[in-house]
Chain A
Amino acid sequence: MVDFQLPVVMPIVALAVFGLYTLLMVPLFRDRARVLAFFALLGIGLAGLFTWKLWGAWRGVGALETAHGMVRVDGFGLLVSGVLLGAGALTVFASVRFLQREDADFGEFYALLPLALAGMLTMVNTTHLMMVLIGLEVFSLALYVMTGMTRQRARSVEGALKYFLLGAFASGFFVYGLALLYGACGSLDMRAVADQAVRAPSPMLWLGMGLVLVAFAFKIAAVPFHHWVPDAYMGAPTNVTGFMAAATKTAAFAALLRFLPGAFGEQSSVWVPIITWLAILTMTVANLVALAQRNIKRLLAFSSISHAGYLLIALVCRPERAVSAVLYYLAAYAFMTIGAFAVAAAVGRGDARSEEGYELEDWGGLGWQRPALSVAMTVFMLSLAGIPPTAGFFGKYVIFQAAIEAERYLLAIVGVLNAVIGAYYYLRVLVYIWMREPEEEAVPAPWFGVTFSMAVVLVVAVVGTLYLGIVPEVLLRATRGLAAVLL
Chain B
Amino acid sequence: MLERLWLIPALPLIGVLGNMFFGSRMSRRAVGWLGCGVVFVSFVLSGWAVAELARLPEEARLAVTEVGAWMPFATLGENSPLDVRWSFALDPLSALMILVVTGVGFLIHVYSLGYMAHEEGFARFFVYLNLFMTMMLTLVLAGNLLVMFVGWEGVGLCSYLLIGFFYDRPFDERTGMSCADAGRKAFVVNRIGDYAFLLGMLYLAATFGTLEFSEIGEAVAASGDATHALLVGVGLLLFFGACGKSAQIPLYVWLPDAMAGPTPVSALIHAATMVTAGVYMVCRMSALYSAAPEAMGVVATVGALTALFAATMGVTATDIKKVLAYSTVSQLGYMFAAAGVGAYAAAMFHLTTHAFFKALLFLGAGAVIHAMGGVQDVRRMGALRNKLPTTHATFVVAALAIAGVVPFAGFFSKDEILWGAWSAGERLLWGVLLVAAALTAFYIFRLVSLVFWGRWRGSAGAWEHAHEAPPAMVWPLVVLAVLSAVGGWIHIPEVLSFGRDWAWLHHWLAPVFAGGGHGEVAAAGTSASAAEELGLMALALGVAMAGILTAVAIYRREDLPARLAERCGLLYRAVRNLYWVDELYDAVIVRPFYRASRFCGAFDRWVVDGTVNAAGIAADLAGQAIKFFQTGYVRNYALLFLLGVVLILGYLASL
Interface of B is mostly: helix
Report the bound CA distance from A162 to B69 in whole Å. 47
Asked whether A473 and B68 contact (CB < 8 A) given A210-B652, A214-B645, A217-B644, the answer is yes
User: Which chain A residues (195-235) contact chain B, with CB distance < 8 Å?
Assistant: 203, 206-207, 209-211, 213-214, 217-218, 224-225, 227-228, 230-231
| Residues of the B chain whose Cβ atoms lie less than 8 Å from the Cβ of A259 | none
The yes or no answer to B498 lying at the interface (CB within 8 A) is no
Instruction: Indicate if the CB atoms of B641 and A471 lie closer than 8 Å.
Output: no
Instruction: Indicate if the CB atoms of B72 and A292 lie closer than 8 Å.
Output: no
| Residues of the B chain whose Cβ atoms lie less than 8 Å from the Cβ of A173 | 645
Report the bound CA distance from A211 to B72 in whole Å. 39
A269-312 interface bits toward B, Cβ cutoff 8 Å, 1 = contact, 0 = none: 01001100000000001001111100000000000000000000
Instruction: Indicate if the CB atoms of B652 and A207 lie closer than 8 Å.
Output: yes
The yes or no answer to B503 lying at the interface (CB within 8 A) is no
Q: How many residues of B contact A (CB 8 A)?
A: 31
| Residues of the A chain whose Cβ atoms lie less than 8 Å from the Cβ of B69 | 471, 473
The yes or no answer to B640 lying at the interface (CB within 8 A) is yes
| Residues of the A chain whose Cβ atoms lie less than 8 Å from the Cβ of B652 | 203, 206-207, 209-210, 270, 274
Instruction: Indicate if the CB atoms of A289 and B651 lie closer than 8 Å.
Output: no
User: Which chain B residues (606-655) contact chain A, with CB distance < 8 Å?
Assistant: 616, 619-620, 622-624, 626-627, 629-630, 632, 634, 636-638, 640-641, 643-645, 648-649, 651-653, 655
User: Which chain A residues (151-179) contact chain B, with CB distance < 8 Å?
Assistant: 161-162, 165-166, 169-170, 173
Report the bound CA distance from A398 to B649 in whole Å. 31
Report the bound CA distance from A213 to B651 in whole Å. 13
**B648 to A, closest residue via Cβ:** A210
**A424 to B, closest residue via Cβ:** B616
Report the bound CA distance from A440 to B500 in whole Å. 82
The smallest C-beta distance from A101 to any residue of chain B, in angstroms, reads 28
| Residues of the A chain whose Cβ atoms lie less than 8 Å from the Cβ of B624 | 292
Instruction: Indicate if the CB atoms of B644 and A211 lie closer than 8 Å.
Output: no
The smallest C-beta distance from A176 to any residue of chain B, in angstroms, reads 10
**A405 to B, closest residue via Cβ:** B75
Instruction: Indicate if the CB atoms of B653 and A228 lie closer than 8 Å.
Output: no
The smallest C-beta distance from A354 to any residue of chain B, in angstroms, reads 18
The yes or no answer to A187 lying at the interface (CB within 8 A) is no
Instruction: Indicate if the CB atoms of A292 and B643 lie closer than 8 Å.
Output: no
Instruction: Indicate if the CB atoms of A213 and B643 lie closer than 8 Å.
Output: no
The yes or no answer to A66 lying at the interface (CB within 8 A) is no
**B624 to A, closest residue via Cβ:** A292
One of A230, A285, A473 near B626 (C-beta < 8 A): A285
Instruction: Indicate if the CB atoms of B644 and A225 lie closer than 8 Å.
Output: yes
The smallest C-beta distance from A213 to any residue of chain B, in angstroms, reads 7
Instruction: Indicate if the CB atoms of A421 and B630 lie closer than 8 Å.
Output: no
The smallest C-beta distance from B146 to any residue of chain A, in angstroms, reads 15
The smallest C-beta distance from B640 to any residue of chain A, in angstroms, reads 5
B46-89 interface bits toward A, Cβ cutoff 8 Å, 1 = contact, 0 = none: 00000000000000000000001110110000000000000000
Instruction: Indicate if the CB atoms of B651 and A274 lie closer than 8 Å.
Output: yes
The smallest C-beta distance from B88 to any residue of chain A, in angstroms, reads 16
Instruction: Indicate if the CB atoms of A166 and B655 lie closer than 8 Å.
Output: no
The smallest C-beta distance from A447 to any residue of chain B, in angstroms, reads 11
The yes or no answer to A401 lying at the interface (CB within 8 A) is yes
Instruction: Indicate if the CB atoms of B623 and A289 lie closer than 8 Å.
Output: yes
One of B70, B648, B653 near A214 (C-beta < 8 A): B648
Report the bound CA distance from A274 to B651 in whole Å. 8
| Residues of the B chain whose Cβ atoms lie less than 8 Å from the Cβ of A161 | 634
The smallest C-beta distance from A246 to any residue of chain B, in angstroms, reads 22
Instruction: Indicate if the CB atoms of A231 and B623 lie closer than 8 Å.
Output: no
Instruction: Indicate if the CB atoms of B644 and A288 lie closer than 8 Å.
Output: no
Report the bound CA distance from A424 to B645 in whole Å. 32
One of A165, A166, A224, A292 near B644 (C-beta < 8 A): A224
One of A214, A289, A474 near B630 (C-beta < 8 A): A289
Asked whether A288 and B619 contact (CB < 8 A) given A214-B644, A270-B655, the answer is yes
| Residues of the B chain whose Cβ atoms lie less than 8 Å from the Cβ of A210 | 645, 648-649, 652
The smallest C-beta distance from A464 to any residue of chain B, in angstroms, reads 17
| Residues of the B chain whose Cβ atoms lie less than 8 Å from the Cβ of A170 | 641
The yes or no answer to A476 lying at the interface (CB within 8 A) is yes
Report the bound CA distance from A203 to B655 in whole Å. 8
**B67 to A, closest residue via Cβ:** A471
Centre residue among B70, B651, B653 by max chain A CB count within 10 A: B651
The smallest C-beta distance from B26 to any residue of chain A, in angstroms, reads 16
User: Which chain A residues (388-409) contact chain B, with CB distance < 8 Å?
Assistant: 398, 401
Instruction: Indicate if the CB atoms of A292 and B623 lie closer than 8 Å.
Output: yes
Report the bound CA distance from A285 to B640 in whole Å. 14
User: Which chain A residues (453-487) contact chain B, with CB distance < 8 Å?
Assistant: 471, 473-474, 476
Report the bound CA distance from A217 to B642 in whole Å. 12
The smallest C-beta distance from B650 to any residue of chain A, in angstroms, reads 9
Asked whether A166 and B637 contact (CB < 8 A) given A289-B623, A398-B73, the answer is yes
**B638 to A, closest residue via Cβ:** A169
| Residues of the B chain whose Cβ atoms lie less than 8 Å from the Cβ of A224 | 640-641, 643-644
Asked whether A207 and B68 contact (CB < 8 A) given A421-B619, A424-B616, A476-B73, the answer is no
Instruction: Indicate if the CB atoms of A227 and B73 lie closer than 8 Å.
Output: no
Report the bound CA distance from A166 to B626 in whole Å. 20
| Residues of the B chain whose Cβ atoms lie less than 8 Å from the Cβ of A285 | 626
The smallest C-beta distance from B131 to any residue of chain A, in angstroms, reads 17
**A170 to B, closest residue via Cβ:** B641
| Residues of the A chain whose Cβ atoms lie less than 8 Å from the Cβ of B640 | 224, 227
The smallest C-beta distance from B308 to any residue of chain A, in angstroms, reads 45
Instruction: Indicate if the CB atoms of A165 and B634 lie closer than 8 Å.
Output: yes
| Residues of the B chain whose Cβ atoms lie less than 8 Å from the Cβ of A166 | 634, 637-638, 641
Centre residue among B616, B620, B641 by max chain A CB count within 10 A: B641
User: Which chain B residues (85-120) contact chain A, with CB distance < 8 Å?
Assistant: none
Report the bound CA distance from A471 to B73 in whole Å. 12
The smallest C-beta distance from B21 to any residue of chain A, in angstroms, reads 11
The smallest C-beta distance from A161 to any residue of chain B, in angstroms, reads 8
One of A218, A291, A398 near B620 (C-beta < 8 A): A291
Instruction: Indicate if the CB atoms of A273 and B645 lie closer than 8 Å.
Output: no
Report the bound CA distance from A206 to B624 in whole Å. 37
**A201 to B, closest residue via Cβ:** B655
Report the bound CA distance from A398 to B626 in whole Å. 30
A-B contact pairs, 7 of them (CB 8 A): A203-B652, A214-B648, A217-B644, A225-B644, A227-B641, A473-B72, A474-B68
* 6 A-B pairs with least C-beta separation: A227-B637, A291-B623, A288-B623, A292-B623, A224-B644, A473-B69
Give me the interface of A with B, judged by CB distance under 8 Å.
161-162, 165-166, 169-170, 173, 203, 206-207, 209-211, 213-214, 217-218, 224-225, 227-228, 230-231, 270, 273-274, 285, 288-292, 398, 401, 421, 424, 471, 473-474, 476
Known: A210-B649, A424-B616. 6 other contacts (CB 8 A): A161-B634, A165-B638, A170-B641, A207-B652, A213-B648, A288-B626
